Amino acid sequence: MTPARRAALELHTLQDLRTVVGSARRHDSRIRRATGIAGSQLWALAEVALATGITVNALARRLALHQTTASNLVNALVERGLIRRRRDRRDQRLVHLHVTASGARMLSRAPRPHSGPLVDALRRIAARDLDALAHSLATLLGAMRQAAPTVTGDCLLVD
């Protein structure tokens, strides 16, 4: 590949990544205007509706989030009256999540996809393309870590 072709490909790829991020941001803004909650909260609400009785840990896995982050999403949804917690009858340590009537109404009128455009697209692309994308992103993140080896959680710190 010529240096000029590589430079053009780098810029095109950067523009595509910006389009992905921008699309997610626009969707989140649209969700906030329509519902008053963040896109991540709407996705969490939708997952609770799909898997009634789900635990916070299971929700965290479904959203690919740390348990603390998922717990914060749940707290915000409980405060708004969109979901409720219910202790397990047999094991009081377990807390199950359920959508309230208000939460169900919000989901019915909220813009779709509830999971957002990125997750929706990942769910719809062919398995071989998803595998190739995962490999390419791992390569990209590896290169970023080499350039900035200080990593905190999932966040690369770049000076």
Phi, psi of 131 (to 5 degrees): -60, -45
Q: 158 lies in a domain?
A: no
Whether the per-residue pLDDT at 10 is higher than 60: the answer is: yes
pLDDT band, residue 54 (cuts 50/70/90): very high
Average confidence (pLDDT) over 55-78 = 96
Whether the per-residue pLDDT at 9 is higher than 90: the answer is: yes
User: Do residues 106 and 41 both lie within one domain?
Assistant: yes
- Number of structural domains (the chain) is 2
Mean pLDDT estimate for the chain: 92
- Is the peptide bond prior to 3 cis by the omega test (within 30 degrees of 0)? no
pLDDT at 159: 36
User: Do residues 94 and 143 both lie within one domain?
Assistant: no
Q: 74 lies in a domain?
A: yes
pLDDT band, residue 151 (cuts 50/70/90): low
Q: Which helix (H) or strand (E) holds 87?
A: strand 83-87
Q: 25 lies in a domain?
A: no
Which CATH number does the domain housing residue 97 bear?
Answer: 1.10.10.10
Whether the per-residue pLDDT at 158 is higher than 70: the answer is: no
Note if the pTM is more than 0.95.
no
Q: Which helix (H) or strand (E) holds 136?
A: helix 127-147
Average confidence (pLDDT) over 11-19 = 96
Rounded percentage of the chain residues whose pLDDT exceeds 90: 85
Q: 64 lies in a domain?
A: yes
Helices and strands (H and E) in the chain: how many: 7, 4
For residue range 78-95, list pLDDT tens digits in order. Answer: 999 999 999 988 888 889
- Measured distance CA(62)–CA(65) in Å, rounded: 8
Q: 29 lies in a domain?
A: no
Whether the per-residue pLDDT at 157 is higher than 90: the answer is: no
pLDDT at 153: 54
Q: 7 lies in a domain?
A: no
User: Do residues 43 and 103 both lie within one domain?
Assistant: yes
Tokens of 65: 């989030």
Domain hosting residue 130, numbered range: 116-149
User: Do residues 99 and 128 both lie within one domain?
Assistant: no
Cβ atoms of residues 100 and 108 within 8 Å: no
User: Do residues 85 and 132 both lie within one domain?
Assistant: no
- Measured distance CA(152)–CA(123) in Å, rounded: 28
User: Do residues 65 and 105 both lie within one domain?
Assistant: yes
User: Do residues 120 and 92 both lie within one domain?
Assistant: no
